[in-house]
Amino acid sequence: MTANAQFSTLLLAALPELRAFALSLTRDGPRADDLVQETILRAWSHADQFEAGSNVRAWLFTILRHLFYTEQRRRRREVDDPDGKRAAGLMIRPEQQSHLEFEDFRHALGRLPPLHREALILVGAQGASYEEAARVCGVAVGTIKSRVNRARTHLMALLQIEAGYEFGPDDILKAVIGHDRTDAGND
């Protein structure tokens, strides 16, 4: 029998006792099963650290115990909030202007026609050249230039700004909204 097969046999033999120990700690069947599974995964991934001839049960129980208490420490900082109401009540509205501008921008970007939004994201946010964006979209370079120009113009109208430099300190947002009159082409 190979070393892996022997180790695997030892792990399998310890499963019932591990589950019983996990149940005694968690008092919850599914949680105990998760804990046992994580213990076996951890033991298997650290099999090289196990010394042949030593007590595998004690080693596994120690791993399980450490995992349980680590989980307990983590859970102490967590709050049960399945519907998200508690988190929503704790939310603090940002005071930073750039965050508010970004939210306005994100909303306006979502209102653009999909083809214009795609072109604008490729050229403005991703930094692709017009040629690269045209290849990605399978259209002529002039079409991409037109879509980007129209998207920028539409965004500026939605955001009620006259020039890209009026929009926040973020360079990426400026690049997306940056309006270059030489972009115009055919759509």
- pLDDT at position 180 is 45
Domain 1-81 falls in which CATH fold?
A: Rna Polymerase Sigma Factor; Chain: A (1.10.1740)
Mean pLDDT value of segment 149-162: 85
**In this model, does residue 186 exceed pLDDT 70?**
no
Domain boundaries, the chain: 1-81, 96-180
Q: Work out the mean pLDDT of the chain and round it to a whole number.
A: 81
> Burial, 39: exposed, middle or buried (Cβ in 10 Å; 0-12, 13-18, 19+)?
buried
- pLDDT at position 171 is 54
- Read off the pTM: 0.43
- pLDDT at position 85 is 78
- pLDDT at position 150 is 92
- pLDDT at position 7 is 83
- pLDDT at position 61 is 93
Q: Which residue has the higher pLDDT, 47 or 130?
A: 130
**In this model, does residue 183 exceed pLDDT 60?**
no
Query: Hey, which CATH number is domain 96-180, 3.40.50.1980, 3.40.50.2300, 1.10.10.10, 3.30.930.10?
Result: 1.10.10.10
- pLDDT at position 155 is 85
DSSP class of 51: P
- Percentage of the chain modeled with pLDDT above 70: 81
Mean pLDDT value of segment 54-66: 91
Q: Which of 70-79, 84-93, 112-121 has the lowest mean pLDDT?
A: 84-93
User: Contact 11/43 with Cβ under 8 angstroms?
Assistant: yes
Q: Which residue has the tokens 């019983």?
A: 20
Residue 34 phi, psi dihedral angles, 5° rounding: -60, -40
- pLDDT at position 126 is 81
**Integer Cα distance of 155 and 143 in angstroms:** 18
**Integer Cα distance of 39 and 167 in angstroms:** 52
Among 2, 91, 11, smallest CA distance to 50 is for 11
DSSP string across 156-176: HHHHT-SSGGGS-S-HHHHHH
User: Contact 14/60 with Cβ under 8 angstroms?
Assistant: yes
**In this model, does residue 182 exceed pLDDT 50?**
no
**In this model, does residue 14 exceed pLDDT 60?**
yes
- pLDDT at position 127 is 84
Can you say whether the dihedral through the CA atoms of 98, 114, 148, 138 is positive or negative? positive
